[in-house]
Chains A and B, each alone.
Chain A
Amino acid sequence: MYLYLDESSWLHRCHPLVRLVVAFALFVAAFLADRAVWQVPLLVVVALLVGTTGAWRNVVRLRYLFVVVAVMTFAVWSLFYRAVDEPELWRLGPLMVSEASLRFAATMALKLTVFLAAGTVFLSVTRVEEFAFALTSAGLPYRIGFAITLSFRLVPVFLESARKVVEAQRCRGFDFERGGLAERVRRYVPVLVPVFMGALRRTDGLAMALDARGFQLDEDRTSYLHYPVSSTDVEVVLASAAMVVGYVVLSWRGVLTFV
Chain B
Amino acid sequence: MSGATTKPLAELRGVSFRYPGSVESALDGIDLSLQAGELVLILGESGAGKTTLARCLNRAIPSYQRGDLSGSLWLAGEDRSTASVADLAGVVGLVTQDFDAQLFSTNVLLEVAFGLEQLGVSRDEMKGRVLESLAMVGLEGFDRRDPSTLSGGEKQRLSIAAVVAMHPGLLVFDEPTTDLDPLGKREIFELLGRLRDGGMGVVLIEHEIEASAVADRVVLMREGRIVEDGEPDRVLRNTEWLVELGLPVADLDAIAVAIGYDGRLGSVAEAAQQISRARGPLKRVENDERRPGETLVEVRDVTFAYPDGPTVLHGISLDVRIGEIVALVGPNGSGKTTFSKHLNGLLSPSGGSVHVAGRNLRELDLEDVASVLAYVFQNPDHQIFASSVRDEVRFAVDNLGLEEAEVAERCAEAIAAVGLQGLEDADPFLLGKGHRQRLAVASLLVLRPRLLILDEPTTGLDVGEQREMMTLLSGLREAGAGVLVITHTPWVVAEWSDRCIALESGNVLFDGPTGKFLAAADIMERCDFEPPTATQVGAALGVTVRSVGELIASLAAPSGQ
Contacts and interface: CB of A to CB of B under 8 A. Distances in A.
A206 B104 contact: yes
A216 B107 CA distance: 22
B106 A153 contact: yes
Interface string A136-177: 000000000000001001001100010011011111111100
> By DSSP majority rule, is chain A's interface helix, strand, loop, or mixed?
helix
Interface string B4-20: 00000000000000000
Interface residues of A, number: 55
A70 B94 CA distance: 49
Nearest to B368: A173
Contacts of B399: 173-175, 178
A206 B383 contact: no
| Residue among B120, B162, B375, B383 with most chain A CB within 10 A | B383
A204 interface: yes
A202 B101 contact: yes
A224 B120 contact: no
A214 B383 CA distance: 34
B144 interface: yes
A208 B85 contact: yes
B123 A226 contact: yes
B172 to A, nearest CB: 10
A6 interface: yes
A219 B120 contact: yes
B385 interface: yes
Nearest to A170: B366
Interface string B83-117: 01111111011101010111011110110011111
Contacts of B219: none
B367 A170 contact: yes
B382 A161 contact: yes
A205 B96 contact: yes
Contact of B104 (A164, A172, A198, A209): A209
A174 B396 contact: yes
A209 B84 CA distance: 13
B114 A6 contact: no
Contacts of B118: 213-215, 217, 219, 221
Interface in A56-106: none
A14 to B, nearest CB: 18
Interface in A226-249: 226
Interface in B40-61: 58, 60
B126 A224 contact: yes
B344 interface: yes
Contacts of B377: 164, 167-168, 171
Contacts of A172: 370, 383, 395-396, 443-444, 447
Question: How large, as a class, is the contact surface on chain B?
Answer: 35 or more
B367 A214 contact: no
A212 B63 CA distance: 11
B503 interface: no
Nearest to B168: A212
Given A153-B106, A194-B384, A208-B60, A222 B120 contact: yes
B122 interface: yes
A216 B93 CA distance: 15
A259 interface: no
Contacts of A211: 60, 63-64, 84-86, 89
B101 A221 contact: no
B89 A212 contact: yes
Contacts of B371: 173
Contacts of A198: 381-382
A45 interface: no
B211 interface: no
Given A167-B346, A222-B120, A173 B396 contact: yes
Contacts of A202: 100-101
Contact of A209 (B102, B117, B122, B368): B102
A220 to B, nearest CB: 5
B101 A214 contact: no
B206 to A, nearest CB: 19
11 contacts: A127-B106, A129-B105, A129-B110, A153-B106, A165-B382, A172-B370, A194-B385, A213-B162, A214-B115, A217-B86, A222-B122
Interface of B: 58, 60, 63-64, 84-90, 92-94, 96, 98, 100-102, 104-107, 109-110, 113-123, 126-127, 130, 144, 146, 148, 162-163, 166, 344, 346, 365-368, 370-371, 374-375, 377, 379, 381-385, 395-396, 399-400, 429, 443-444, 447
Interface of A: 2, 4, 6, 127-129, 150, 153, 156-157, 161, 164-165, 167-175, 178, 189-194, 197-198, 201-202, 204-217, 219-226
Given A127-B106, A129-B110, A224-B109, 6 more contacts: A165-B383, A168-B377, A172-B396, A173-B371, A207-B64, A208-B94
